[in-house]
Every structure is written in structure tokens, then in C-alpha cells.
Amino acid sequence: MVAKSKEFKKSNGNLKRAALFLSPALILMIIFFLGPIVMTFFFAFTNMSLTGASAQNIEFVGFQNFVNMFEDPNFKTSFMATMVFLIFSGIIGQQVLGFLLAILMKNKNKTFRKFVGATVMAGWVTPEIIVGIMFVAFLHDGGTLNQFIGTLGFEPVSWLFTFPMVSVIIANIWQGSALSMLMFQSALDSIPNSLYEAARIDGANRWKILWKITIPMIKNTVFTNLVIITLGTLGVFSLIYTMTGGGPARATSTLPVFMYEQAFVNYQLGYGTAISLVILLIGIVLSLAYIKLLKTDE
């Protein structure tokens, strides 16, 4: 009993020391992480603004911000633009391109893999606003792409005005595919080559090997990558705002752009915060749907 009591006291002392060392990090996390989350939820139910009487006297308005939001036709337009941008640039674009790059690099020599990996990673580590400026220069009326097609005898195209959503989708795919490539590359490297050899001996072609072996073996990675890409794409703002500003005619006004307009252009912080909660809710719902789908397939 005496030995157990000493051991308990020693363990309790270790826990106290650990808590003491971790306390600065915990305090910072509460101040800069949990604090803003609580404030966000609170402000979403108020009439908080940057100007006017409500800037001085914040009032609790309940669900009025959300009622106004769902009655606003601009919200519906932004919601549809967000879904189009998410599906084609994230769920389809980044997943497919990342997977294709990973497949092409499988079993290649280290020098080739390092070169391709570094090239693709360069886009991923570039800030969104810089990527936006690059693609504006590339797709502008007098930009690189129009100069190139002009040398081929074709008329220049106003890409950012005629195909605004396609332009921002391509830019986002270019920047974000590196993460998918890295995740798929790691998953593909973990598949034993003996499985592929056995399938080839049995007469399976490349498509059967892909659908019957490769994809089922990396299913968990596909869903994990899907969650990460979805959450990341839902938060894309600087890229779109730099390239199109949400236009023309709100064609690329996704929910983050709409939230910015309401909060910092119209100065309605409470309304903008409510929009941010809807974006968060969309991410949560889609993530839970992916998890449920993964469990169903198991």
C-alpha cells in the first residue's frame, strides 16, 4: 500500500508539472482559437456593424441574419457558384489531376520524381493572391495566352469575362493539386508490387488493375483527401477576389466573396459572420457525408 501511495503521488506530481509546462500553450489556444470561435457564434446573432448606430450599440437579433440571408437572391447565387467551384475545382479537378500525377510518377526514378514533385509543389506553396495575379497576367485580354493564340491566327478571347468560373477553377486546380499528388503518391507506394504482378499473370489489363486493385487499396486516402480538399476549397477567397472580384455579374461570387462583401464592403459584420457559419456548416455536413459513405463502402 505504501509503495502504491508513493507511486500515485509521483504520478500526480508528474501530471501537475506537465500541466504547468503546457499551460502557456493552452492559454494561447484559448485566447486565439477558442475565443474567436465563441465570438463568431455570438456576433452571428447580432446586428454588429462597422458604421451607424449598431456599431455603438450591438443588439441581439436572433436568427434574423439567417432569415435575411436565405431570402437574399445574391446568397442563392453565391451558394450555387460555391457548389460549382467546389465540385469542379476540388472534388473532381484536384483529385483527378493529383491522382494522375501520382500514377505517372509511380515506379519512376528518384530524380524524375523529385523534379516533378518540386515543380508541382511550387504552385502549392505560392500564396493565393500571387497565383491570382499570375493567372490574371496569363488570361488577361493582352496576356500570355492571348498572345500565344494570336500567333496561331486566332482571335483573342476575354477569358476572365467570357469564362470567369472556368478561369478560377483552372487556377485553383493548378495550385491545389500538389497535396492530392503527395497523398496519393504515398498511398500508391504502400501497395505491394506482388499484387500487380499476380493480376498481370491472371490476365488483368491496366483498367482492371486500376479499378479492382489500386482504387480499393487507396480508398481511405481518397476520402481523407476529399475532406481536406473540400474544406480548403470552401475557404478560397484571395484567388477568386484577385482574379475576378466575384464578377462579372456575380458569376464567381462564392460564399467567401459574398461574406467579405457583406462584412467589409457593406459593413454588416453580424450578417457576414452569419454567412461564415453557413460555410462552416456546409463543410461539416459534407465531411460527415464522406465519412458515412466511407463506412457504407467498408
- Judge if 110 and 15 occupy the same domain: no
73 neighbors 245 (Cβ within 8 angstroms): no
pLDDT in tens, the chain (298 residues): 544 455 545 556 567 777 777 788 888 877 877 888 888 889 999 988 888 776 778 889 989 999 999 999 999 999 999 999 999 998 899 999 999 988 888 777 778 778 887 888 888 888 999 999 999 999 988 889 999 998 888 888 999 999 999 999 999 999 989 889 888 988 888 888 888 888 888 888 888 888 888 888 888 888 889 999 999 999 999 999 999 999 898 999 999 999 999 999 999 999 999 999 999 999 999 988 888 887 766 5
- Judge if 38 and 162 occupy the same domain: no
For residue 12, the model assigns a pLDDT of 61
For residue 9, the model assigns a pLDDT of 53
195 neighbors 213 (Cβ within 8 angstroms): yes
For residue 5, the model assigns a pLDDT of 55
Asked if the structure places residue 53 within a domain, the reply is no
- Judge if 115 and 193 occupy the same domain: yes
Asked if the structure places residue 49 within a domain, the reply is no
Looking at the DSSP assignment, which residues form a beta bridge with residue 46?
Answer: 60
Asked if the structure places residue 37 within a domain, the reply is yes
168 neighbors 240 (Cβ within 8 angstroms): yes
Asked if the structure places residue 266 within a domain, the reply is yes
- Judge if 149 and 29 occupy the same domain: no
User: Which residues lie below 8 Å from residue 150, measured CB to CB, with a gap of 6+?
Assistant: 156
pTM of the model: 0.87
- Judge if 244 and 135 occupy the same domain: yes
Say how far apart CA 27 and CA 30 lie, in whole Å: 5
- Judge if 232 and 285 occupy the same domain: yes
Asked if the structure places residue 55 within a domain, the reply is no
Asked if the structure places residue 69 within a domain, the reply is no
User: Which residues lie below 8 Å from residue 70, measured CB to CB, with a gap of 6+?
Assistant: none
- Judge if 241 and 188 occupy the same domain: yes
- Judge if 135 and 23 occupy the same domain: no
- Judge if 83 and 171 occupy the same domain: yes
Nearest to 141 by CA among 153, 159, 154, 155: 159
- Judge if 170 and 243 occupy the same domain: yes
For residue 8, the model assigns a pLDDT of 47
Asked if the structure places residue 162 within a domain, the reply is yes
- Judge if 33 and 78 occupy the same domain: no
* Structural domain boundaries enclosing 129: 74-297
- Judge if 9 and 141 occupy the same domain: no
Say how far apart CA 80 and CA 83 lie, in whole Å: 5
How many structural domains comprise the chain? 2
C-alpha cell at 206: 491496366
124 neighbors 179 (Cβ within 8 angstroms): yes
Q: In b/e form, how buried is each residue of 76-97, taking b as 16+ CB within 10 angstroms?
A: ebbbebbeebbebbbbebbbeb
Asked if the structure places residue 61 within a domain, the reply is no
